[in-house]
């Protein structure tokens, strides 16, 4: 079972009846009540909503009570949700049942397949070359997709990338791209396919036709506390990624204070779950577990992160961002058969940056998606915040910890991220980390620069940043940036 840890800690011990179980005798009354509810709801197709509501409630009860759902039941439930015959409140209850009870490997495979086939599944097989995407489980300052996509494409990998928006403390690739004036992320699947063929890469948002069940479900999970659940995360990610028409996938599973997975054991479980789903669907999948105990790179905030990603392609990016980007892009080259081994992959990546080809590819991607390609040479063309403030070190010492989640929330408070899906973001604002873990600082020297437009948010952000930093008299022991690699053999 996937999710048995939760089961052990949050559920009644095996063999005992669930604490909130209803006596079977009440079932007929409940059915009557549901049938009354149906009178207000239109019929959909030939299926009466009331009948469907009873059926949905039976399936929720089965999962709530720890039973396995059959392939037909899972398909019925997910299809019903996509079409609207299973209501949001029923799906929310099902997600909570899955949160506590988990899904077996076979249930998860069927659940993911049903979500994948809730919409269009692209077939890119007529486009020459191996199609490889990268997906990150989300972190703070994670701008890897912005530099990795042109880098891998300039090396010859075809990169069809469907990305997401930031939510809460984590940033989203689409928001970062949209900070480039004119950049369009809402392209049709026809345009997506054309750019993957002609340019070698395209970055878009999830369309209404790609895995629509996930689009609906993700918004629902966000407001029902069912996001941090391994089977639900895995089916969400893989249904979207498999719908893109990829041959192979590289996963960046983030671990640490700024990630969904706070420890290596749960990140490993998520990575294994994701790779197994991909393998069952005939795709080669590699996962790297990478450190998110502090923000990646030195910038957090949309336009600021674009600048840092461009700097990677100019050969002058921060060491941690360069290392994670090269490790993930290297795996893409290996999966695509462009490099035979990791040193060859590294050499090819270095040469592509040195020659300027990676930067040119970024400019081409931006221009072909309607954006101002000149930003790669002139950062003043990106949105700029009007105000600057600072957070200074309260004492001498070495930075031993930066709580990424608090840094992400501080950036969100300034307007760089969204609290709710419908919130507006400000592309110009954000943070520049002047000190990172292991670096020395004297009292009064800057830890972080704040770029703001609305002065009212600055004090709150400063407070959060100050509390996110821990300064100790001696430097901390260095921690690895890449913990583990799982998946396809080299
Ligand atoms: N990213 C996704 O696409 N889905 C999740 O559920 C979590 C992270």
**Ligand 1 center to residue 138 CA distance, Å?**
8
Rounded mean pLDDT of 161-186? Answer: 90
Q: What are φ and ψ of residue 122, in 5° steps?
A: -70, 145
Catalytic residue among 6, 134, 165, 221: 221
Q: How many CB atoms lie within 10 A of CB 388?
A: 11
- 362 with 394, same domain: the answer is no
What is the C-alpha to C-alpha distance for residues 428 and 143, in angstroms, rounded to an integer?
A: 15
Rounded mean pLDDT of 72-94? Answer: 95
- 187 with 264, same domain: the answer is yes
Is the pLDDT assigned to residue 5 strictly greater than 50? no
135 is catalytic: yes
- 292 with 360, same domain: the answer is yes
Structure confidence at residue 16 (pLDDT): 34
Q: How many CB atoms lie within 10 A of CB 5?
A: 14
**347: CATH:** 3.40.1030.10
- 297 with 425, same domain: the answer is no
Is the pLDDT assigned to residue 31 strictly greater than 80? no
Catalytic residue among 169, 240, 348, 368: 240
Catalytic residue among 117, 131, 135, 348: 135
Among the three residues 52, 86, 118, which one is the final residue of a domain in this structure? 118
In the sheet with 446-452, reading across from the earlier edge strand, the strands are 299-300, 430-433, 446-452, 387-392
Range of the domain at 36: 29-118
Structure confidence at residue 52 (pLDDT): 66
* Position 424 confidence tier, pLDDT thresholds 50, 70, 90: confident
What is the C-alpha to C-alpha distance for residues 82 and 117, in angstroms, rounded to an integer?
A: 10
* Position 114 confidence tier, pLDDT thresholds 50, 70, 90: very high
E-state strands within 164-283: 201-205, 248-255
Is the pLDDT assigned to residue 167 strictly greater than 80? no
Structure confidence at residue 295 (pLDDT): 96
- pTM here is 0.87
5 is catalytic: no
Is the pLDDT assigned to residue 32 strictly greater than 70? no
Contact 141, 300 (CB under 8 A): yes
* Position 138 confidence tier, pLDDT thresholds 50, 70, 90: confident
Nearest CA to ligand 1 atom 7: 233
- 372 with 324, same domain: the answer is yes
Is the pLDDT assigned to residue 12 strictly greater than 80? no
Helix (H, G, I), strand (E, B) or coil at 470: strand
Would residue 20 count as lying in a domain? Answer: no
As for how many domains the chain has, the answer is 3
Structure confidence at residue 392 (pLDDT): 98
Would residue 37 count as lying in a domain? Answer: yes
Rounded mean pLDDT of 461-471? Answer: 98
What is the C-alpha to C-alpha distance for residues 327 and 341, in angstroms, rounded to an integer?
A: 12
Structure confidence at residue 170 (pLDDT): 77
How does the average pLDDT of the chain come out, rounded? 88
**Ligand 1 center to residue 354 CA distance, Å?**
34
Q: What are φ and ψ of residue 18, in 5° steps?
A: -60, 145
Nearest CA to ligand 1 atom 3: 237
Return the ∠ at Cα 434 (arms to 429 and 436), rounded to 5°.
115
Rounded mean pLDDT of 455-465? Answer: 98
Task: Report pLDDT digits (tens) over 294-316.
Answer: 999 999 999 999 999 999 999 99
Task: Report pLDDT digits (tens) over 236-292.
Answer: 999 999 999 999 999 999 999 888 899 999 999 999 999 999 999 999 999 999 999
CA distances from 379 to 206, 304, 315, 382, 429 (A): 28, 9, 16, 6, 14
Nearest CA to ligand 1 atom 5: 233
**111: CATH:** 1.20.970.10
Q: Which residues line ligand 1 (CB under 6 A)?
A: 137-138, 164, 218, 227, 232-233, 236-237
| Residue in 237, 255, 287 to alter for ligand 1 test, most ligand atoms within 8 A of Cβ | 237
236 Cα nearest atom in ligand 1: 4
Task: Report pLDDT digits (tens) over 179-218.
Answer: 999 999 999 999 999 999 999 999 999 888 899 999 899 8
225 is catalytic: no
Nearest CA to ligand 1 atom 2: 237
Task: Report pLDDT digits (tens) over 361-419.
Answer: 999 999 999 999 999 999 999 999 999 999 999 999 999 999 999 999 999 999 998 87
458, two tokens: 């600055």
142 is catalytic: no
- 241 with 390, same domain: the answer is no
What is the C-alpha to C-alpha distance for residues 353 and 388, in angstroms, rounded to an integer?
A: 32
Is the pLDDT assigned to residue 28 strictly greater than 50? no
What's the count of helices (H) and strands (E) in the chain, helices before strands? Answer: 18, 13
* Position 24 confidence tier, pLDDT thresholds 50, 70, 90: very low
Catalytic residue among 133, 142, 214, 403: 214
Task: Report pLDDT digits (tens) over 331-356.
Answer: 999 999 999 999 999 999 999 999 99
- 311 with 357, same domain: the answer is yes
What is the C-alpha to C-alpha distance for residues 184 and 371, in angstroms, rounded to an integer?
A: 7
Q: pLDDT higher for 221 or 24? A: 221
The alpha carbon of residue 265 and the mean position of all alpha carbons in its chain are separated, in whole angstroms, by: 19
Structure confidence at residue 23 (pLDDT): 27
Is the pLDDT assigned to residue 36 strictly greater than 50? no
The closest alpha carbon to 204, from 180, 188, 217, belongs to: 188
Structure confidence at residue 260 (pLDDT): 84
Structure confidence at residue 3 (pLDDT): 37
Structure confidence at residue 45 (pLDDT): 35
Return the ∠ at Cα 82 (arms to 242 and 225), rounded to 5°.
85
320 is catalytic: no
Is the pLDDT assigned to residue 358 strictly greater than 90? yes
The alpha carbon of residue 129 and the mean position of all alpha carbons in its chain are separated, in whole angstroms, by: 26
Would residue 333 count as lying in a domain? Answer: yes
What is the C-alpha to C-alpha distance for residues 50 and 32, in angstroms, rounded to an integer?
A: 10
Catalytic residue among 118, 145, 236, 406: 236
């Amino acid at each position: 079972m996937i999710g048995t840890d939760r089961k052990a800690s949050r559920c009644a011990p095996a063999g005992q009846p669930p604490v909130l179980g209803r006596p079977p005798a009440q079932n007929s009354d409940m059915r009557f009540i549901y049938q009354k509810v149906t009178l207000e709801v239109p019929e959909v197709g030939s299926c009466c909503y009331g009948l469907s509501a009873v059926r949905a409630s039976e399936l929720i009860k089965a999962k709530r009570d720890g039973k396995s759902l059959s392939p037909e039941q899972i398909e019925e439930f997910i299809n019903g949700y996509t079409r609207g015959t299973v209501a949001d409140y029923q799906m929310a209850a099902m997600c909570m049942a899955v949160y506590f009870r988990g899904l077996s490997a076979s249930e998860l495979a069927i659940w993911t397949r049903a979500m994948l086939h809730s919409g269009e599944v692209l077939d890119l097989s007529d486009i020459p070359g191996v199609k490889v995407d990268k997906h990150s489980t989300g972190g703070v300052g994670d701008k890897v997709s912005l530099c990795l996509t042109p880098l891998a494409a300039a090396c010859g990998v075809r990169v069809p990338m469907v990305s997401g928006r930031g939510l809460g403390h984590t940033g989203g690739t689409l928001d970062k791209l949209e900070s480039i004036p004119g950049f369009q992320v809402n392209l049709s699947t026809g345009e997506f396919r054309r750019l993957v063929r002609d340019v070698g890469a395209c970055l878009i948002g999830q369309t209404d036709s790609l895995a629509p069940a996930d689009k609906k479900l993700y918004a629902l999970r966000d407001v029902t506390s069912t996001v941090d659940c391994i089977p639900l995360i895995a089916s969400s990610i893989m249904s979207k990624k498999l719908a893109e028409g990829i041959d192979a996938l590289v996963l960046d599973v983030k671990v640490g204070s700024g990630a969904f997975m706070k420890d290596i054991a749960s990140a490993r479980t998520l990575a294994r779950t994701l790779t197994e789903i991909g393998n069952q669907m005939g795709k080669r999948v590699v996962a790297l577990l990478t450190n998110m105990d502090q923000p990646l790179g030195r910038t957090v905030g949309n336009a600021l992160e674009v600048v840092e990603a461009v700097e990677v392609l100019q050969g002058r990016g921060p060491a941690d961002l360069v290392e994670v980007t090269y490790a993930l892009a290297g795996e893409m080259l290996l999966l695509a058969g462009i490099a035979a081994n990791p040193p060859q992959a590294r050499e090819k990546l270095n040469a592509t940056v040195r020659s300027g080809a990676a930067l040119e590819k970024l400019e081409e991607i931006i221009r072909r998606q309607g954006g101002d390609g000149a930003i790669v040479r002139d950062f003043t063309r990106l949105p700029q915040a009007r105000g600057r403030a600072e957070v200074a070190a309260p004492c001498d010492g070495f930075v031993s910890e930066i709580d990424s989640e608090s840094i992400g929330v501080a950036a969100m408070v300034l307007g760089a991220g969204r609290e709710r899906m419908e919130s507006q973001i400000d592309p110009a604002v954000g943070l520049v980390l002047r000190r990172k873990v292991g670096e020395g600082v004297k009292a009064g020297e800057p830890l972080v620069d704040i770029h703001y437009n609305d002065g009212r948010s600055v004090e709150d952000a400063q407070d959060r940043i100050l509390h996110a930093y821990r300064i100790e008299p001696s430097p901390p022991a260095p921690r690895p940036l890449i913990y583990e690699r799982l998946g396809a053999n080299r």
